[in-house]
């Protein structure tokens, strides 16, 4: 987490050329991505690695880090829940199993294949790891999944079903098939010769998103539970909302109506006013069609106050982690409020004149006093999810 935050403030790109042999083998049109900075096998043991899909490996690593950081030692495990999202699930396991079937026959398909490929595998593994017995949930809403997990966690606490919820999202889809599929729909940047500059939200020359991978995890805790144990509280999850466009299976509503409703509902849920918002961690994936409707929605929901909001597009640095993006961006939004600093957006050389947001290109201090920040996520399927973070 300290490294994540330092790099987000400095503006360090994690996007590189892919060196895997399958890039040339299949002559993929996209040859860049943001892979894990530290490979999972440097953190997990050999046996754990074998029994988990990469998405689960990343989720378990992030959840363990968050758990250690929370300092929770003594807890009623019947009151501890998990809400851990993924957009795609165990795609490596699924496709490796298919390759094995074709090459070696059914007998060689690993018996662990099903628990490794199921989308709830991450939540289940985290639940098993922590001994969380108040339910293990897996919201799946494409690139809104990680943010929706925050909403699920909030409901579990508000409804009294849990005292503590491990929330997060994990994704490991840097595999040639998903790359080919996203590339076929013209969603990915093909700036192969300049990877660090490929993810450029709001820039006039943006040409698609860059695939990332990894996981984010946060420990959500009922306020009285956190206060009673003297927890270090980073911030308050003040509100959430989830809406659906019901407009098109992949294209965002050009008027951003679903996103506008999500923003307004989240502000209402948190009982805050548009004028309280000082910072937005935007969804901003760097696709030509996606970035503008979010601006339209922010303008509709925040009114003239939109001009006073410091907007960060952190996918410019770490690419798009699909179902994990909302979780990692929630971590960054919480830290932004806690540290009172909006992280950097890189590669904004010529801002799209149709998106006149106040984009933070160099990390910027946020005001003292009570502040509110938003994190938006939108996903294929017309999913919109927003979280509202307030200082505590």
Partner 1 sequence: MASNEEILAGLAEIINEETGLAPDAVQLDKSFTDDLDIDSISMMTIVVNAEEKFGVRIPDEEVKNLSTVGDAVDFIAKAQA
Helix count and strand count (H, E) for the chain? 14, 13
Q: According to CB under 8 A, which one of 2, 21, 25, 45 is a site residue for partner 1?
A: 45
Among the listed residues 143, 175, 279, 383, the single catalytic one is 143
Task: With contacts defined by CB under 8 A, name the span among 86-94, 106-114, 127-135, 155-163 that binds partner 1.
Answer: 106-114
C-alpha 252 chain-centroid distance: 18
**Is 2 near partner 1 (CB under 8 A)?**
no
CA of residue 146 relative to chain centroid, distance: 5
> Among residues 180, 176, 184, 144, which one has the least CA distance to residue 324?
144
Among 1, 112, 204, 222, binds partner 1 (CB under 8 A): 112
DSSP characters for 86-144? -SS-SHHHHHHHHHHHHHH-GGGS-TTHHHHHSTTHHHHHHHHHHT--S-EE---BTBT
Counting contacts by CB under 8 A, is residue 108 touching partner 1?
yes
**Minimum CB distance to partner 1, residue 111 (Å):** 4
- Check residue 233 for interaction with partner 1 (CB under 8 A): no
| Residues facing 137 on adjacent strands | 83
C-alpha 62/C-alpha 44 separation (Å) is: 12
Choice from 2, 27, 74, 107 touching partner 1 (CB under 8 A): 107
Cβ closer to partner 1: 50 or 271? 50
Cα(36)–Cα(122) distance, rounded to whole angstroms? Answer: 17
CB nearer partner 1, residue 108 or residue 350: 108
Which one of the listed residues 137, 175, 283, 383 is annotated catalytic?
283
Instruction: Determine the Cα angle at 239 with ends 235 and 244, to 5°.
Output: 135
Exactly one of 137, 175, 320, 383 is catalytic; which is it? 320
350 is catalytic: no
For residues 144 and 377, is the Cβ–Cβ distance under 8 A?
yes
**Closer Cβ to partner 1, 108 or 248, answer by number:** 108
CB contact set of 287 (below 8 Å; sequence gap of 6+)? 187, 206, 208, 209
Q: Does 47 bind partner 1 (CB under 8 A)?
A: yes
> Interface with partner 1 includes 249 (CB under 8 A)?
no
Closer CB to partner 1, residue 48 or residue 255? 48
Nearer to partner 1, 95 or 112 (CB): 112
Q: For the packed helices 91-104 and 54-70, what is the interaxial angle rounded to 10 degrees?
A: 150
Q: Which is nearer to partner 1, 51 or 229 (CB)?
A: 51
**Taking the complex as a whole, how short is the minimal distance between the CB of residue 47 and partner 1, in angstroms?**
4
Residue 77 is a catalytic residue = no
Is residue 283 among the annotated active site residues? yes
Which residues of this protein are in contact with partner 1, per CB under 8 A?
45-47, 50, 107-108, 110-112, 115
List residues with catalytic annotation.
Answer: 143, 283, 320
């Amino acid at each position: 987490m300290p490294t994540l935050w330092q790099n987000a403030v400095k503006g360090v790109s994690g996007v590189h050329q892919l060196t895997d042999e399958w890039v040339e083998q299949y002559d993929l049109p996209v040859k860049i991505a943001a892979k894990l900075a530290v490979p999972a096998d440097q953190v997990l043991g050999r046996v754990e690695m074998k029994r988990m899909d990469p998405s689960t490996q990343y989720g378990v690593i992030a959840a363990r880090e968050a758990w250690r950081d929370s300092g929770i030692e003594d807890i009623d495990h019947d009151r501890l829940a998990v809400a851990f999202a993924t957009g795609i699930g165990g795609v490596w396991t699924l496709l490796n199993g298919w390759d094995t079937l074709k090459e070696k026959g059914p007998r060689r398909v690993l018996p662990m294949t099903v628990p490794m490929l199921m989308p709830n595998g991450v939540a289940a593994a985290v639940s098993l790891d922590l001994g969380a017995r108040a339910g293990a949930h897996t919201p799946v809403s494409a690139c809104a999944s990680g943010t929706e997990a925050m909403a699920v966690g909030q409901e579990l606490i508000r409804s009294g079903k849990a005292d503590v919820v491990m929330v997060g999202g994990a994704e490991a889809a840097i595999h040639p098939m998903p790359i080919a599929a996203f590339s076929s729909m013209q969603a990915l940047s093909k700036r192969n010769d300049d990877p660090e500059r490929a993810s450029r939200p709001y820039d006039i020359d943006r040409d698609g998103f860059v695939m990332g991978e990894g996981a984010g995890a946060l420990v959500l805790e009922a306020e009285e539970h956190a206060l009673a144990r003297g927890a270090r509280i980073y911030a308050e999850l003040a509100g959430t909302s989830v809406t659906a466009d019901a407009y098109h299976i992949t294209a965002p509503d050009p008027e951003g109506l679903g996103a506008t409703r999500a923003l307004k509902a989240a502000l209402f849920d948190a009982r805050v006013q548009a004028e309280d918002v000082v910072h937005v961690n935007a969804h901003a994936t760097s696709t030509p069609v996606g970035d503008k409707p979010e601006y339209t929605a922010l303008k509709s929901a925040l009114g003239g106050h939109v001009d006073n909001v410091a907007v960060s597009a952190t996918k410019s640095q770490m690419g798009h982690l699909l179902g994990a993006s909302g979780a990692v961006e929630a971590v960054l939004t919480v830290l932004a409020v806690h540290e009172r600093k909006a992280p950097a957006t890189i590669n904004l050389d010529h801002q799209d004149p149709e998106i006149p947001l106040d984009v933070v290109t160099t990390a910027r201090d946020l005001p003292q006093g009570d502040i509110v920040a938003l994190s938006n996520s939108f996903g294929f399927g017309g999913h919109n999810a927003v979280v509202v973070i307030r200082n505590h």
